[in-house]
Chains A and B, each alone.
Chain A
């Protein structure tokens, strides 16, 4: 009714405002020029923009340079086992659906040793953001071939150049059952990266973001060389996709109109010939979520649960 409006005393406004410094922990020990710095800033900015309460936010990681991430965030964190970030994060989300969960993983961590968990994390579709820091190398252990290393990459494991074609994490995720959000961005495109992570954070389900990440120490010829090459990236653009300003949009020579509801086209754009597409490949907001099952499963009182438990145990009584 026109004369009446919401009473302001009950306004749902935060009592505390966090700034970027409130999310900053110890100084990041990544190498100078490492793309991880940029990702850290983008994530801290997201926390600030969304005013995520630090005590309600969790970063879970595996092992690798990238997986040091939780140390640099003044939130809850879990620096876990190599390849096991997803199961830990799923456990957290299952029991504490009220927390905002982020998974930080590397190409080795996710696509190699952790690949099994990766498949099921996508299928579970629990609400969380998964950031794959893809520098196409094992960074922490000083240069071993990773599943995403370009063919012919010379490394400690393949001094004369790698022999297998690299895996395409975007194409792979698009093939997993119950996938609901797949996006790609690049650490040297801070504006696009920020918007991508923001979109992922809004997604009601498991949001997978692959970030092309520079490692100037071991992969100097990799993405580092692409920073000045404007033609290397193509922008996937759509009103339902990643929102960018005209300034950012116009900085891309190639812009591809792509509706993120269209999974077939998404698969096509996942493997362009000379370019790498960044943007939102696919989104389905209605995919079933395992974490909802988890919380609704609790729809009984403690007494009821105890009675149920006792009834089961009684069956074993002699």
Chain B
């Protein structure tokens, strides 16, 4: 028996839908967009008094209220609140070293490759979901994963998506096709404090591949040289063919001619010295064969980083050394000197072998040349085979005691790659960061110091964008100069995702701008500097449009810059250094810091800079800052402008960008033109066919003696102009028609204008073998010949949309064909 519920009880219990509505309303209350809150108007006097306090605060940093509560920079508020943000990790490196890329790109490229123009909708829509499955499996805890098991798991999970019927089959087939095109093997790398080291590991792997190719080339040389020596001993043992020896064949052969044919040059014996030379060469080349297979890359680390990274796991095939910074430089230098000389001799041996094999080795010239060939004179490709010495340490160590060692190292021009990792986002309490307090001092910039050693390759890069980092490290590792790579990595043990946001904010706020200086990049002014990895590199601060609701709930939008002050405000402790100005007191003297910094000196007086913040209730607030903050923003801006200048903005890069834009534009136009041509041709073909059809109709009308010709323009004109011509005209017209159309109508297949089908079920029900519905439930021809021609004609007659065209008969033995052909005429 069902229980009776009274109305009031019903309400109290809260039914399903009441609950839902209530929940939604609740949500709506909380989920009010970021907004300005209405406030009481302040009197003139109140405003005046307030500004006295505010100006005092600007000068001294002193303020009445100590705590501001939870506030975040406005531009980051939506991310922080939703907890939703991500970058292009994981990064995929194929086993064969070919075109590593972010997994997202790999999936997208594979998708495009698999399906081309015919991208399937459901799978296309679900690529992001697939990526999220990959990420789920490759949780952020570990730095690297094997690709295969993760791919299999992610694909299997997506395969379980609830798609039905034909679409379901299609989806699963598409997924299988897609999966078959995905790469096999390789590794995935996460956003992780060791990501840069993993990337270095990948580049060392790359080098290994290059080196083994070189070893095979050397092996070939060895066998060729040995063959030469072998021929030599053969020759020495057996005398050349003499005329007398062949006397018995006098009658058949012209012996003089034979002598002419026998090899002249090769027949001369090699000099003893050359044989010895080749023998030494072979020995040297054998040492390449042996050494290069056992030689390992050499990495030396300082203790602070060695503790943090699982170096043995990251570089399983390297020699690892751990020591203090000074010693590390010393070891690196020694290792380099030791290796480079051997390396140079081996490369020279390879070159000599090539000359010997071509019989081009000229002792007088080449001996001297090779004796004086130093490693730095080797070609780029040759030097690329050298295992560089990698020194891993922290920026703090380098900027402290290590500075002179670093300077010596960079000036020496030895192929030592210095990796300076830093997890120091300004947020951490760090005695060094007190530079801000001393208002006119500047922060030491490792990248700038490195650039000042002119020939050192320099990279400064956050680790938030995998592709940028991977490519940056690659260029740095390949450079045939010393390198400095300063990379901002997440601090170990802290929340990885917060770190990702912080590192990104560090780059955006120009606190840690992206920068690469590559001496080999080219001669053009500014071309060696690349700062394109920064957001909006042509601007002082990156600027974004920001949406909020006005006091009266109206949607508004404004441009907000992400400045160094915003970056600082990302830290809980720093937020309290700001002074929150209620809206009622925000006069025109309160100015966004980016605009404030652009004011002329005479415009500054009385002004106070602020940044936009958002509190937990999504209220938009103005945080006024003290003088010290403005100074630190100015300092960052100075450094950024310095980098912009070095990057030669407005010259080389602008031209590059223009050129790129133009070429893509041109390519686009070309494609458009091609597409237009194609569609034009299609239209012509269709027009031809329909013209032929029309003409045929008219011909039939005439033959059947139907009263008048269809009102074609020509006949109309004729009738109007002259009665005399009109009698003869139709004949010629008729002939023309005949000529044009009769051969054309001879044979055509049945066809259906699917887009006009109204899904009336008629044809598919009556002739299911010949017609079927497509995915959109509109009819298509399944197999015209699976039934009779008569069927097709009847279907055409019955089709309410008149979109079936039976074409011409396909089986000459079908009975009453003449009649059916006639009945088909109106539909063809």
Contact = CB atoms under 8 A, between A and B. Distances in A.
Given A1-B542, A5-B86, A32-B762, A44 B165 contact: no
User: Considering residues A1, A6, A41, A45, which has the most beta carbons from chain B within 10 angstroms of its beta carbon?
Assistant: A1
Interface size on B, as a range, is 35 or more
B11 to A, nearest CB: 5
Interface stretch (A7-15, A63-71, A151-159, A259-267): A7-15
Contacts of B84: 6-7, 10
Contact of B504 (A1, A6, A21): A1
Given A2-B508, A32-B762, A37-B758, A19 B168 contact: yes
Nearest to A298: B21
Contacts of A21: 164-166
Interface centre among B17, B756, B759 (most CB of A within 10 A): B759
Contact of B79 (A4, A18, A45, A214): A4
Interface centre among A10, A38, A306, A309 (most CB of B within 10 A): A38
A96 interface: yes
Interface string B6-33: 0010011010011011100100000000
Interface stretch (A79-87, A134-142, A183-191, A268-276): A183-191
Contacts of B759: 37-38, 40-41, 190
Name the interface size band of chain A: 35 or more
Nearest to B18: A302
A295 B25 CA distance: 10
B163 A17 contact: yes
B778 interface: yes
Nearest to B503: A3
A9 B777 contact: no
Contacts of B12: 302-303, 306
A224 interface: yes
B722 interface: no
A38 B164 contact: no
Interface string A216-247: 10000000100110000000000000000001
Nearest to A6: B84
Contacts of B505: 1
A284 interface: no
A17 B167 contact: yes
B496 interface: no
B476 interface: no
Contacts, number: 160
Contacts of A56: none
Given A6-B85, A13-B126, A21-B164, A41 B777 contact: yes
B136 interface: yes
A33 interface: yes
B544 interface: yes
Nearest to A305: B11
B128 A11 contact: yes
A19 B166 contact: yes
A22 B8 contact: no
The interface centre, meaning the residue of A10, A16, A190 with most chain B CB atoms within 10 A of its CB, is A190
A15 B163 contact: no
Nearest to B544: A1
A13 B127 CA distance: 11
Interface of A: 1-11, 13, 15-22, 28, 32-35, 37-38, 40-41, 44-45, 95-96, 98, 187-191, 214, 216, 224, 227-228, 247-248, 295, 298-299, 301-303, 305-306, 309
Given A37-B760, A45-B776, 6 more contacts: A1-B504, A11-B128, A189-B756, A190-B801, A224-B800, A299-B25
21 contacts: A1-B75, A1-B535, A4-B464, A4-B501, A7-B86, A15-B162, A16-B162, A17-B161, A17-B168, A18-B164, A32-B762, A32-B798, A35-B758, A38-B759, A188-B756, A188-B800, A190-B755, A227-B802, A248-B755, A302-B11, A306-B11
